[in-house]
Amino acid sequence: MNNSFNHMISIAPMVDKTDRHFRYFARLLTKKTLLYTEMITSQAIIHGDRKKLLDFNPTENPVALQIAASNPDELYKAVKIAEDWNYDEINLNAGCPSDRVSGNMMGASLMAYPELIAEMISSMKSATKKPVTVKHRIGISSSKVTSSFMPYGFFNDLGHLSDFMIIINKAAPDRNIIHARIAILEGLSPKENRDIPPLDYDMVYNLKKQFPNSIIEINGGIKTLDEIHEHLTHVDSVMIGREAYSNPAFMARFDSLYNPQDSMTLTRRTIIEDLLPYIEDLESKGENAHLALSHTLGLFQNQPGSSLWKRLLSTPSLGTKSILLRDALASLPQDILDKEI
């Protein structure tokens, strides 16, 4: 067990969402929350454009690299390569239910093979001194995946999950991030797998009782600060996914979990003004500023001016996106811009 654990809250890795632009934006709202990359496969790191895949702005730290893999040797190589970047921890994805991932013996399908997960965690720990964590679900259901551990194609009870933990704990992961749903590997899309399988927070709570020395982080359907506080009475930390992306102002409240006095006084005006130099820098390099701004569409969620903000960001402009942001500062309701988040 690594003693470097010191966070209460993280933002979940989300494909096509938690890229370096989102992480820069998120860091304007919260300084202490652990951020994640999108899921990256070990083969992509070994054979792909590493700079494009792994580069990030130092202001994004603390940030974790999430890797999907099925081969311990490949995973070792990928983690070794990533050592040249200043990630704060390395995470193994054992919870993604998509056909593309689980069909290649990665993601949630790995839960049928806990011995393999343990072997991969050991490979990761031999490649880095940084914390090594694993993200998984409370169980899986599949008509195609069976194993000696899961001979009937599913497990969805606390006893089976406890057996799973016993096996992977042989490799001593530094933290288990547990999405409190089973993963259904056939018949549901990744989006449906985030909604249709029912949440079972109690199973995660009970697992923590059975493994009090394991650091357990809960994930799935968490939308309010009150819910975060409630979960923290049962487990060690909380991971927020879609709510942080669709309503990013929510992230401005996260630092108060550590110390209420540490909370920043933020307004939407200060966020936009702080984002401007980043957008100008992207434009000066010929990079895609529109992509970066797409992550901010929810900044005015549930506020007057939300439709105007989204329309401004989505409207083709003859000028630059930085000019568009200045137009937004002039056009949006001034009281909403200056209201503390």
pLDDT per position as a tens digit, 19-48: 999 999 999 999 999 999 999 999 999 999
Q: What pLDDT shows up at residue 28?
A: 98
Spatial distance between the Cα atoms of 90 and 161, rounded to a whole number of angstroms: 23
Of 35, 63, 96, 249, which residue is the catalytic one? Answer: 96
Please report, in angstroms and rounded to a whole number, the separation of the first and last CA atoms in the chain: 37
Q: What is the pTM of this model?
A: 0.95
Spatial distance between the Cα atoms of 338 and 224, rounded to a whole number of angstroms: 23
Spatial distance between the Cα atoms of 274 and 20, rounded to a whole number of angstroms: 16
Query: What structural domains does the chain harbor?
Result: 9-262 (3.20.20.70), 268-338 (1.20.120)
Pair 332, 317: CB distance under 8 Å: no
Residue 242, annotated as binding a ligand: yes
Q: Lowest-pLDDT range, 100-104, 136-140, 176-180, 278-282?
A: 100-104
Quote the strand ranges of 95-241, DSSP E: 132-141, 154-155, 175-184, 216-219, 237-240
Spatial distance between the Cα atoms of 14 and 219, rounded to a whole number of angstroms: 13
Averaged pLDDT for residues 289-293: 94
Spatial distance between the Cα atoms of 86 and 63, rounded to a whole number of angstroms: 9
Q: Which of 198, 335, 264, 228 is nearest to 11 (CA)?
A: 228
Residue 219, annotated as binding a ligand: yes
Q: What pLDDT shows up at residue 90?
A: 99
pLDDT, tens digit, 9 for 90 and up, residues 233-260: 999 999 999 999 999 999 999 999 988 8
- Check whether 55 has a pLDDT greater than 50: yes
Q: What pLDDT shows up at residue 3?
A: 43
CB atoms within 10 A of CB 20: 18
Residue 241, annotated as binding a ligand: yes
Residue 48 — φ and ψ, nearest 5°?
Answer: -95, -165
- Check whether 206 has a pLDDT greater than 90: yes
Residue 53 is a catalytic residue? no
Quote the strand ranges of 76-160, DSSP E: 89-94, 132-141, 154-155
The pairing of beta strand 132-141 with beta strand 175-184: parallel
CB atoms within 10 A of CB 7: 21
Q: What pLDDT shows up at residue 259?
A: 84
- Check whether 1 has a pLDDT greater than 50: no
Residue 221, annotated as binding a ligand: yes
Q: What pLDDT shows up at residue 260?
A: 80
Residue 14, annotated as binding a ligand: yes
Q: For the chain, percent helix, then strand, then coil, each to nearest 5?
A: 50, 15, 35
Spatial distance between the Cα atoms of 226 and 59, rounded to a whole number of angstroms: 28
Residue 21, annotated as binding a ligand: no
- Check whether 4 has a pLDDT greater than 60: no
Residue 135, annotated as binding a ligand: yes
Residue 299 in tokens: 């900044």
- Check whether 2 has a pLDDT greater than 60: no
